[in-house]
Amino acid sequence: MSNTISSLEPTALWKNFSDLNAVPRPSKKEERVIKFMQDFGARLGLPTKTDKVGNVLISKPATPGMENRKRVVLQSHLDMVHQKNNDTVFDFDAEGIKMYIDGDWVKAEGTTLGADNGIGVATIMALLESTDIPHPAIEGFFTIDEETGMTGALGLEGGFLESDILLNLDTEDDDELTIGCAGGVNVSGKAFYDEAEMNQNFNSIQLTLNGLSGGHSGMDIIKGLGNANKLMNRFMNELMNCVNFCIIEIEGGGLRNAIPRESNAIIGIAKKDMIVFDEVKAKFIEEVSSEHKVTDPNLSFTTKEIDHRWKGASIESSKKLIKAIYAVPNGIYRMSPSIGGLVQTSNNLSQISMKAGEANIFCLCRSSVDSEKYDEVETISAALSIINAEVSLGANYPGWTPEPSSAIVSLMSDLYVEMFKEKAHVMACHAGLECGLIGTNYPDLDMVSFGPNIRGAHSPDEKVQISSVQKFWDFFLETLKRIPEA
pLDDT in tens, 247-286: 999 999 988 889 999 999 999 999 999 999 999 999 999 9
Query: pLDDT-derived band of residue 105, with 50, 70 and 90 as boundaries?
Result: very high
Among 123, 70, 64, 113, which Cα is nearest to 88's?
A: 113
Domains and CATH numbers, the chain: 2-182+399-481 (3.40.630.10), 185-397 (3.30.70.360)
Query: pLDDT-derived band of residue 3, with 50, 70 and 90 as boundaries?
Result: low
Distance of CA 486 to the CA centre of its chain: 36
- Angle at which helix 466-481 crosses helix 407-420, to 10 degrees, equals 120
**SS3 state of residue 328:** coil
The length of the chain in residues reads: 486
Q: 343-355 and 358-367: which strand pairing? A: antiparallel
**SS3 state of residue 345:** strand
Amino acid 268 reads G
**Partners of 266 in the β-ladder:** 206, 249
51 in active site? no
List the catalytic residue out of 30, 116, 146, 173: 146
Q: 343-355 and 446-449: which strand pairing? A: unpaired
Does the pTM of the predicted model rise above 0.85? no
List all residues 6 or more positions away from 89 whose beta carbon is below 8 Å from its beta carbon.
none
Distance of CA 264 to the CA centre of its chain: 22
Q: 446-449 and 202-210: which strand pairing? A: unpaired
Point out the least confidently predicted range of 147-151, 157-161, 362-366: 147-151
How far is 339 from 180, CA to CA, in rounded Å? 12
How far is 144 from 152, CA to CA, in rounded Å? 5
Helix (H) or strand (E) holding 281: helix 274-291
List the catalytic residue out of 30, 79, 172, 434: 79
Q: Span 159-170, mean pLDDT? A: 97
79 in active site? yes
**SS3 state of residue 410:** helix
